[in-house]
Amino acid sequence: MLCTIKLKKIHSFVIKPLFMNYKHIKPHLNTFVIFIAVVGAAAIGGQAFIQRNSHSDRIYVTGLGSSDFKSDLGVWTGRYSVENVDLKEGYTRLQEHREAITKFLLKKGFKDEDLTFSSVSTETNYRNKYDDHGNLLDQTFLNYSLTQDVDVQSSDVDLISKISREATELINDGINISSESPSYYYTELANLKIKMLAEATKDGTTRAEQIAENANNSLGDLRSAQMGVFQITSQNGGEDYSWGGTFNTSAMYKTASVTVRLEFGLD
């Protein structure tokens, strides 16, 4: 707006009269052009200065909130299987293993409602014969493989950790079982995130107050706030942070953190 007003004044009081007397100013035309260029540059420069300094009353800071916690939900999966040339006999044998595994888990301290058994997966096994060029020549039937998973979910995360190590004891009973690493979760994560956001905002406000004080100013109102990346990592595990966020499920003890970018005004 400043630039527009000045140019209008130049046109009314300088350019118009000069062009009306063109014959008289022709010898000084080069000087006139330079004059117009200098005035225009000064007007544009002044406008840029005003726009640049219109944002000098802002402070931008990043606050951090973090919390250590122990998972309150654990999930473990065990996979067991049998092989038999007769499919029906194999299925019967697999059900016997299921009953033995159920008794084993209940004895360890779990409840019936903690256990979930998957459907049975069946696969036919063959012995393949190939020629020297890798072409299949013949297949000979060997047996059937029947596999089933048992998922155990409990709020007793210590018991989940324990069963993941002790489940292979069933091998001594003739049960071919493999144990997967347990996963750990936190059911109060939503409430924890709200708490950490408040902590991050407080942290950022403290930083902004210190910056304003160092600049001999007083902190004004909060203009905007934007949540950054939410991270869940293992405690003291040296785990790297990710730009897209990390959600650790392998550690029982975790650290959650979140950043908040704040914009404050200055009084």
pLDDT for 108 equals 97
42 vs 192 pLDDT, higher one: 192
Residues 99, 176, single domain; the answer is yes
Last residue of a domain, one of 162, 182, 202: 182
DSSP 3-state of 126:
strand
42 vs 151 pLDDT, higher one: 151
Question: Given pLDDT bands bounded at 50, 70 and 90, which one contains residue 55?
Answer: low
- CATH at 87: 3.30.70.2970
Residues 65, 155, single domain; the answer is no
Residues 100, 20, single domain; the answer is no
pLDDT for 121 equals 98
- CATH at 256: 3.30.110.170
Cβ 229 vs Cβ 182: under 8 Å: no
Mean pLDDT, range 159-171, rounded to an integer:
97
Last residue of a domain, one of 159, 182, 205: 182
pLDDT for 40 equals 46
Residues 25, 62, single domain; the answer is no
Q: Which two tokens stand for residue 22?
A: 């063109």
Residues 169, 85, single domain; the answer is yes
Question: CA triplet 76, 81, 86: central angle to 5 degrees?
Answer: 155
Enter the DSSP assignment of 241: P
CA atoms in the 13 A half-sphere facing the CB of 64: 6
Cβ 172 vs Cβ 230: under 8 Å: no
Residue 200 has pLDDT above 90, yes or no: yes
Kindly report the average pLDDT of the chain as a whole number: 84
Q: Which two tokens stand for residue 218?
A: 């007083």
Residues 155, 210, single domain; the answer is no
Residues 65, 192, single domain; the answer is yes
pLDDT for 98 equals 98
Say how far apart CA 80 and CA 152 lie, in whole Å.
Answer: 14
Residue 54 has pLDDT above 90, yes or no: no
* 64-73 residue pLDDT tens: 999 999 999 9
* 15-38 residue pLDDT tens: 444 444 444 444 544 444 444 443
Give one DSSP letter per residue of 180-205, joined into a string. Answer: PPPEEE-TTHHHHHHHHHHHHHHHHH
Q: What percentage of the chain exceeds 70 in pLDDT? A: 79
Say how far apart CA 12 and CA 44 lie, in whole Å.
Answer: 19
Q: Which two tokens stand for residue 115?
A: 């256990």
Residues 172, 81, single domain; the answer is yes
* 86-135 residue pLDDT tens: 999 999 999 999 999 999 999 999 999 999 999 999 999 999 999 898 89
Whole-prediction pTM: 0.73
Q: Which two tokens stand for residue 118?
A: 């998957």
Say how far apart CA 161 and CA 83 lie, in whole Å.
Answer: 29
CA dist list (Å): 78 to 75, 121, 135, 180: 10, 14, 37, 6
Residue 2 has pLDDT above 70, yes or no: no
Residues 233, 197, single domain; the answer is yes
Residues 217, 257, single domain; the answer is yes
Question: Given pLDDT bands bounded at 50, 70 and 90, which one contains residue 56?
Answer: low
45 vs 239 pLDDT, higher one: 239
**Which segments within 34-135 are labelled E, that is strand?**
58-70, 73-84, 115-117, 121-130
Residues 83, 160, single domain; the answer is yes
Between the two ends of the chain, the Cα-to-Cα distance in Å is: 26
pLDDT for 10 equals 42
Domain extent, residue 221, equals: 58-70+187-266
Last residue of a domain, one of 143, 159, 182: 182
Count of domains forming the chain = 3
pLDDT for 36 equals 46
Residues 81, 115, single domain; the answer is yes
Residue-wise over 115-125: b if at least 16 C-beta within 10 A, else e? beeeeeeeeee
Mean pLDDT, range 161-183, rounded to an integer:
97
pLDDT for 21 equals 46
51 vs 93 pLDDT, higher one: 93
pLDDT for 47 equals 36
Cβ 262 vs Cβ 207: under 8 Å: no
* 224-262 residue pLDDT tens: 999 998 999 999 777 777 777 889 999 999 999 999 999
